[in-house]
Amino acid sequence: MKKSKLRKKGWLLGYSDFTEYSKNRRDEDSLDLEIYVKGLGLKSLHQGLWQKGQPVTLDELPKAQKNYTMKLIDMFPEEVETVLDVGAGVGDNAIYMADKGMKVTCISPSPSQENYFAENILPEYENVSFIRCKYEDLEINEKFDVVLLSESSNYFPIENGLGQTIRYLKRGGYLVMGSHFRKDSRRDFKEMHVHESYLDSAKKRGLILVEDIDVTSQVIQTMELYHNIYKYIPPITEVLIDFYKKSFRKKYWIISKIVSAFFNQEFEMAKEMLFEVGPRRTDPKLFLEYLTYRFIAFKKGMDSQ
């Protein structure tokens, strides 16, 4: 799909609705693992949960992420044995749960995450398995004590996510989630669910709200951190492009033309991600204006549907 069409649909800046967003997204489009794990050396894809007084630096982010994982998983009731970890990322939550003796079924549509699990997690953890697919398309014959949506609920429409969750939860099981939500239905950040709509839909489907904790003030530090990093990307990229134009392109103009012809769209998208989407999506002021970050637990009631 051409960039102009993407821009018109607005998914790069999150102006489109979910149906459009997920329809146009290819599984291999996700660069999360490459940026955060290979690029920044992290072992988690979620925002982390900062403690009071903790210095806000990149070196401290893994500690905040560990804290997030612990706090979120510790919301589970004691007796949990089986978990469906939806959008399992690079398995930091799964490892924590597996170390506690739970049997964890991880799913994600990302081929690079599938490889990461195969190389780093599955050989060591017998009680962890991985299925590569979208949650909306999952077809298995199993039910779980907990469905975990750790920063993955915004990747599919509310109804699809809740429908699948009710289908895969045992009676009396729990949906536990950590996620950004929009505070209201304003247009910006439209790729995220509206908090109230999510709670309403869950209630209508018979999920009973057990906890809804606002942790925005412990997540916002990650935005500050990433926003500061994004600040340096445009000037550094400009310098590199300038260098490339002066040296490589002059010397090897035929190769340069071929590369541009094949990868122009990818370059444009990368530029847009780095120069526009990233800085805007990590802007702490916009975050606080439009979003709220929640840790939520629901229990599947008798009449869930």
Ligand X SMILES: C[S@@+](CC[C@H](N)C(=O)[O-])C[C@H]1O[C@@H](n2cnc3c(N)ncnc32)[C@H](O)[C@@H]1O
Is residue 82 within 8 Å of residue 105, measured between CB atoms? yes
Among 32, 60, 272, 283, which residue sits at the site for ligand X (rule: CB under 6 A)?
Answer: 32
The verdict on 218 binding ligand X (CB under 6 A) reads: no
117-176: contacts with ligand X (CB under 6 A): 134-136, 150-152, 155-156
Token pair 């904790």: residue: 213
Our CA angle for 66, 61, 220, nearest 5°, is 100
**CA of residue 93 relative to chain centroid, distance:** 13
| Site track 238-277 with ligand X (rule: CB under 6 A), x = hit | ----------------------------------------
The verdict on 83 binding ligand X (CB under 6 A) reads: no
The verdict on 109 binding ligand X (CB under 6 A) reads: yes
Choose one: 43-51, 199-207, 208-216, 244-252; the region binding ligand X (CB under 6 A).
43-51
The verdict on 108 binding ligand X (CB under 6 A) reads: yes
Nearest Cα to 103, choosing from 78, 88, 85, 90?
85
Q: How far is the CB of 71 from ligand X (least distance, A)?
A: 12
Rounded distance, CA 144 to CA 175, Å? 10
Among 6, 42, 45, 223, which residue sits at the site for ligand X (rule: CB under 6 A)?
Answer: 45
* Number of C-beta neighbours around residue 69 at 10 A: 22
Choose one: 4-12, 56-64, 108-116, 210-218; the region binding ligand X (CB under 6 A).
108-116
Rounded distance, CA 22 to CA 165, Å? 18
Nearest Cα to 230, choosing from 289, 293, 283, 287?
283
Q: Could you list the residues that contact ligand X (CB under 6 A)? A: 30, 32, 44-46, 86-89, 92-93, 107-110, 113, 134-136, 150-152, 155-156
